[in-house]
Structure 1
C-alpha cells in the first residue's frame, strides 16, 4: 500500500484503492479506481493524456485523496499498478519540520517556513524566515530592544550571546527577507529559498539544538561516571 499525509486528518496514513481488501475484509463497493478527467466531457487540450487523477481512500479517516499518476499508452492497455506511477498527491499537505529543542513559538514559525517552501510559496518562505529570525533575536535578548534588527544582531554578537557565524547567518536571512518585503513583485528563485531555509535551520541548530545535545551528552557522561564510581566503591568494600 502507498501512503501520504492526508489533507483531512493530517496524519501519515495508508491510501487504499476503493475496491482493495482491508485487513482481509473484501469490499464490493467498486470495481475500479475512479479516474479523472472524464474524457467523455473533458475539453482540456493541454492535459497530458498519459496522466490521470485517481481517487484513493485514507485508511485513517476515510476521506478521499487524489493521486496524480503517469503511465504510458502500453501500460494503460496491458494494465498497471497505479501505486508505482504516482507523481504527487492532491491536495498537497505540507509536513513542515519539528524543532524539538526550540521554543514553541519559534518552532511553530520555522515549521511554517518549511511548509511554505514545500508547496512552492517561496516568497512567503523567505519573508517569514526573516520574521522567525527577529523572533529568535528577541528570544536571545535579556531586555526587549527597540533598535533595528541589524543593530540587535550586532549587540548579541558583542555580548557573546551568539557567535560570529550565527550573526552572519542571521544577517543573511535579514537581508534576504528585506529584499522581498520591499520588492514583492520580484520572483523568488526556488534554489535561493532553499538556501535561506537551510541557513535558518543552521541558526536554530546553533542556538537551540546543539546546546541541548551537548547538555544531554554531558548528563549521560556524568551518569556513567557516577555509576562507575559507585561500582568501584562497592568493589573496594
Structure 2
C-alpha cells in the first residue's frame, strides 16, 4: 500500500495555531499523529512524505519520534526539512527533491516540489473563487487553508459572501480591502449567524473581540477609500 502525507510540522507548536489544528498542546498532537499513523500503516507500506516533517532534523526527540513511525518512509524535502544529521537520514528509505511514481493500475503520479504544489493549489483556488456557484464545504476548506498561508496571492473573489466568510474565519484584514462600506451589514449578519443567532441584528450585543474586529475592518475600508455610502 502507498500512502501520502505532508506538512506534519512535528515539534512546531505554532503550527497548531497557524493551521488551526484541533489540539491543546504539542504533546497531544504528537500522540494523535503517532496513533493514527501506526493504526493504519504497516512496516511493509510505503509512505511518501511531501515535505516539512519538522523545522529541523537534528533534534534528538524528533529522531526518536520518526523512528517510531511504521512504514518505508520516502521524504520529498520541503523548505523546512534539515536532513544533515546522518542518524535522521537513516530513518528514510529515500530522500529526494522530486520524484515520479506509478500506482498499482499503471497511472503516473507526479510528486511535485513545494513550489510546484503551491502553483497547482493556486490554480485550483482561482478556479473555485472565479465561479458564481456557492462552494461546497470541502471546496471552502481548501480555499480557507490557502488563504491562511498565502492571503497576499489571493486571486479575485467573485462571491462577496465567500469573501466575507473568509474574512470572519481567518481574521486576515487585508481581505477587507476588497469590501465596500455597504458590505459591512452583510459582515454583521454573517457574524450574527456564526456566533450569536440573534433574531434582531439591530440589537446585537457584540463580544469585545468581535467589536474590535469590526472596528479594524471599518478602518481598513476607510483607509482604502471605498466609502460607497453617502449621508
Q: Which has the greater radius of gyration?
A: 1
Fold agreement, TM-score > 0.5: no
Q: Please classify the TM superposition score into its range, dividing by the shorter chain length.
A: under 0.3
TM-score, scaled to structure 2: 0.27
TM-score, scaled to structure 1: 0.26
